Structure 1
Amino acid sequence: MRRVCFLLKVRPERLAEYRERHRAVWPDMLDALRRAGWHNYSLFLRDDGLLVGYLETADFEAAKRAMAATEVNARWQAEMAPFFEDLDGRPDEGMRPLDEVFHLD
């Protein structure tokens, strides 16, 4: 299983709403993520808007493609895009995995 970590930046004026939206992620979005192979998926948000995402998956590119093929993901990405700074396109297209340099089992 590959561990994937990525960073994005939420607009400071949208932090409260971003947090609220993630307290009620659509059930069909959650189902799509699971079916696409996203495991142990977490988002961590700092008060300045730094968003750290973490997930585990067998194949990150395949998992992203599987999500991109779903209608629910298109709707979710369209709704989430205005929350982010410095994106060219959809938020899921802005996820650039960080290099893992250490891991303790």
Structure 2
Amino acid sequence: MEKIAFVMTLKPGFEAEYKKRHDELWPDLAVELKNAGISDYSIYLHPQSLKLFAVLKRTDNHTMDNLPATAAVKKWWAFMADIMETNPDNSPVVESLEQVFHFE
């Protein structure tokens, strides 16, 4: 298993809506994430900067890079585009993070 982290940016005033939409995560999207080898996926909000810190685990043979081609992910991105900073294809603007410390 590999753990990765990244940040995204929420638009102002959508904190509660972002949480609500994720509390009601679509079952077909959850299946796509699991099938891609993703687990233990959490997103945290830093309220002052509106940065969303995401961390997840993925299997060594994950297919996460194929998720953007799936109908469920495309639909989810379109659904979320009004409340997040996005790219022209509605994918969230993502900044990868480098791990600088780990303690178990």
TM-score, length-normalised on structure 1?
0.84
* Greater share of strand: 2
Identity %: 30
- Provide the rounded CA distance (Å) in 2 between the counterparts of 1:31 and 1:25: 11
Mark the CA change 1:61 to 1:30 in structure 2 (over 3 Å): closer, same or farther.
closer
Aligned residues: 102
**1:42 to partner: Cα distance:** 0.6
Return the letter of the residue paired with 2:56: L
Q: In the alignment, which residue of structure 2 is the partner of 1:72? A: 72
Return the letter of the residue paired with 1:15: E
- Provide the rounded CA distance (Å) in 2 between the counterparts of 1:73 and 1:103: 30
**Runs (5+) with no aligned partner, structure 1:** none
**Runs (5+) with no aligned partner, structure 2:** none
DSSP 3-state at the match of 2:63: helix
Return the letter of the residue paired with 2:64: A
The 8 Å contact of residues 42 and 54 in structure 1, kept in 2 or not, is answered as: yes
DSSP 3-state at the match of 2:29: helix
Q: In the alignment, which residue of structure 1 is the partner of 2:87? A: 88
1:35 paired with 2:35, answer yes
**1:16 to partner: Cα distance:** 1.4
DSSP 3-state at the match of 1:41: strand
The 8 Å contact of residues 6 and 96 in structure 1, kept in 2 or not, is answered as: yes
- Provide the rounded CA distance (Å) in 1 between the counterparts of 2:25 and 2:58: 20
Give the stretch that moved more between structures: 75-84 or 94-103. 94-103
Q: In the alignment, which residue of structure 2 is the partner of 1:58? A: 59
* Greater share of helix: 1
* C-alpha RMSD over aligned residues: 1.9
DSSP 3-state at the match of 2:52: strand
DSSP 3-state at the match of 2:17: helix
**1:47 to partner: Cα distance:** 2.0
**1:64 to partner: Cα distance:** 2.7
DSSP 3-state at the match of 2:5: strand
